[in-house]
Copies of this chain bind each other. A is one copy, B any other.
Amino acid sequence: MDERTALRLLAADLPGAGDDAAIVDDLVVTTDMLHEATDFPAGTTRYTAGWRAVGASLSDVAAMGATATCAVAVYAAPELDEAELGDFVQGARDVCEAVSAEYVGGDLDTHHEFTAVSTAIGRTDDPVLRSGATPGDLLCVTGELGRSAAAVRLFDAGEVERANDLFRFTPRVDAGVELRDTATAMMDSSDGLARSVHQLAEASDCGFELDWDALPVHDAVETVATDDTDHRDLAAYFGEDFELVFTISEDELDAARAEIDVPLTVVGRATTGSEVVADGEAVPDRGYTHGGD
């Protein structure tokens, strides 16, 4: 059983689960495990790891259109080094502060592999789900894609400082809150844009037409991509980015842009049917599978 199948089984069985975060009363709750082998390339600082682990959960809170209340994290490593732990906690605190949430601690454990598990809690009375897109809605993303993909290449190349900078993203909590009344469907791009759009299509029972040329791609991708195919892979399929992918009525877009501090880019449109296509060709449903392929 691969992880995606397992996650589907879980979601099907749990009424509160299945979107980017679970919904309980006025709370949204999300938890994520990251570990060295799959999530923290050699050169990732503990400060970046703390920021990124907690940031990933805060991004799920953002994807629900919720305010971010607080986060906790478990830090597990072969040895509990005071400086490393301090750096991790500082990263966790700083990413919380960036979205006006409170970092309130967690648990420690010795573990043969460095592992971080973060849980974030947000509040909203009216969460934005993945299921509300209607044919005709514009498909948009916040910020720029490919940041983490470029970072991984830069870690491989030994450009560690730049890679760490790229790995520390700002969760889009403010944008998510501003979009909660106008976005018809929303999630984050952690599985890659292509897979995210497939997930919106499935949840909303619609199709999407993407415009590859419209994708807002981070400058760093230009410097690491080997050719055009690689460029698209990094921007649209690699994933582990934490931008919001959302749909919105065309009438609402200008007002949303005026309210939100990060760029919103239209990258396509919801369609009738169930296909996800770009420039007339089917977009494969592939992307990042956490802990998997």
Give the segment of A30-38, A136-144, A268-276 that binds chain B: A30-38
A117 touching B74 in the complex, CB below 8 Å, given contacts A104-B24, A291-B110: yes
Given known A3-B108, A110-B291, A110-B292, contact A16–B102 (CB-CB < 8 A): yes
Which residues from 218 to 246 on chain A have a C-beta closer than 8 Å to any C-beta of chain B? none
Distance A155 CA – B210 CA, assembled complex (angstroms)? 57
Does A6 lie at the interface of the complex (its beta carbon under 8 Å from any beta carbon of B)?
Answer: yes
The answer for the CA separation of A82 and B115 in the assembled complex, in Å, is 23
Residues from chain B with Cβ under 8 Å of A121 in the complex: 24, 27, 29, 121
Bits for A189-223, please: 1 = Cβ < 8 Å to B, else 0.
00000000000000000000000000000000000
Known: A24-B70, A72-B22, A72-B31. A115 touches B112 (CB 8 A): no
> How far is A119 from B109 in the complex, measured between Cα atoms in Å?
15
The answer to the question of A285 belonging to the interface, with a C-beta cut-off of 8 Å to chain B, is: no
Interface size, chain A (Cβ < 8 Å): 55
Known contacts A69-B27, A110-B292, A291-B109; A33 and B3 CB within 8 A of each other: no
B16 touching A105 by the CB < 8 A rule? yes
Residues in chain B near residue A167, CB distance under 8 A: none
Are the C-beta atoms of B117 and A31 separated by less than 8 Å?
yes
Given A13-B89, A33-B74, A72-B31, A2 and B109 contact (CB-CB distance below 8 Å): no
Using an 8 Å CB-CB cutoff, how does the interface string of A166-179 with B read, 1 for contact, 0 for none? 00000000000000
Contact B89 A10 (CB under 8 A): yes
Interface string of A113-142 (1 = CB under 8 A from B): 101010101000000000000000000000
B1 touches A33 (CB 8 A): no
Contacts of A6 in B (CB 8 A): 80, 82, 85, 108
Residues of A22-78 at the interface with B, using a CB-CB cut-off of 8 Å, are 22-25, 27, 29-33, 35, 69-70, 72-74, 76
Contacts of A111 in B (CB 8 A): 33, 35, 113, 115, 291
Q: Which of B23, B32, B105 contacts A14 (CB 8 A)?
A: B105
What residues on B are CB-neighbors of A292 within 8 Å? 110
User: Across the interface, do B74 and A31 meet the contact criterion of CB distance under 8 Å?
Assistant: yes
- Tell yes or no: A262 within 8 A of B by CB: no
Measuring CB to CB, which residues of chain A are less than 8 angstroms from any residue of chain B?
Answer: 1-3, 6-7, 9-11, 13-14, 16-18, 22-25, 27, 29-33, 35, 69-70, 72-74, 76, 80-82, 85-86, 89, 102-113, 115, 117, 119, 121, 290-292
In the complex, 8 of the A-B residue pairs with CB atoms within 8 angstroms, ordered by the A residue number, are A3-B80, A10-B85, A11-B105, A14-B89, A18-B105, A24-B104, A27-B69, A117-B117
Q: Which 9 residue pairs are nearest across A and B when measured between Cβ atoms? A: A17-B105, A22-B104, A16-B104, A119-B119, A109-B291, A117-B117, A24-B70, A33-B109, A31-B72
